[in-house]
């Protein structure tokens, strides 16, 4: 626990989904698996999410909403929660980052940062 009272550590792995993507239609589908780990000393619940999604053409989307995949997981110290979701870009590469808004058992609210991660699709050589 390293002495941190509120500490939700977030890690993400992403992958390209070729069977749902189309180069012709400029539709590039990515899946990502997020793991949240409560490394703090207090139990906390995920209330909402905020994503910033960037594509390689400079396009930016922001997504806000309650919970993740229809859930608002509650994590005791030492517990983890994992889920998989997806994103669609109009370019074969981009990135995502953001934060989860949390509430601890003692009533404190805090953000758990989601580190930036790459979305990388098929690359062609000329």
Residue 96 lies in a domain: yes
**Closest listed residue to residue 101, CA positions, set 75, 65, 54:** 65
Tokens 């993507």, located at residue = 21
Which of 26-40, 78-92, 111-125 shows the lowest mean pLDDT across its residues?
A: 111-125
Q: Which helix (H) or strand (E) holds 30?
A: strand 28-38
Task: Give pLDDT tens digits for 69-109.
Answer: 999 999 999 999 999 999 999 999 999 999 999 999 999 99
25 in a structural domain: yes
Bridge partner list, 10? 36
Domain-embedded: residue 2: no
Give me the CATH number covering residue 69: 2.60.40.1470
The number of folded domains in the chain is 1
Q: Is residue 54 part of a domain?
A: yes
pLDDT for res 3: 63
pTM: 0.91
Residue 122 — pLDDT band, cuts 50, 70, 90?
A: confident
Q: What is the chain's mean pLDDT, rounded?
A: 94
Domain assignment present for 125: no
* pLDDT, position 9: 97
State which residues form the domain around 96.
8-120
The answer to the question of residue 102 being in a domain is: yes
Q: How far apart are CA 3 and CA 88, in angstroms?
A: 39
- Say if 1 falls within a structural domain: no
Q: List the one residue out of 16, 29, 33, 116 whose CA is nearest residue 80.
A: 33
Is position 57 within any domain? yes
């Amino acid at each position: 626990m390293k002495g941190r009272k509120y500490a939700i550590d977030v890690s993400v792995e992403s992958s390209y989904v070729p069977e749902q993507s189309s180069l012709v239609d400029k539709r590039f589908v990515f899946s990502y698996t997020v793991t949240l780990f409560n490394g703090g000393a207090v139990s906390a619940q995920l209330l909402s999410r905020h994503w910033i999604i960037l594509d390689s053409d400079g396009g930016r989307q922001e997504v806000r909403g309650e919970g993740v995949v229809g859930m608002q997981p509650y994590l005791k110290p030492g517990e983890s929660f994992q889920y998989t979701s997806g994103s669609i870009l109009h370019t074969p590469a981009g990135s995502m980052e953001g934060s989860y808004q949390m509430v601890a058992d003692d009533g404190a609210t805090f953000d758990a940062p989601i580190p930036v991660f790459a979305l990388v699709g098929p690359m062609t050589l000329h």
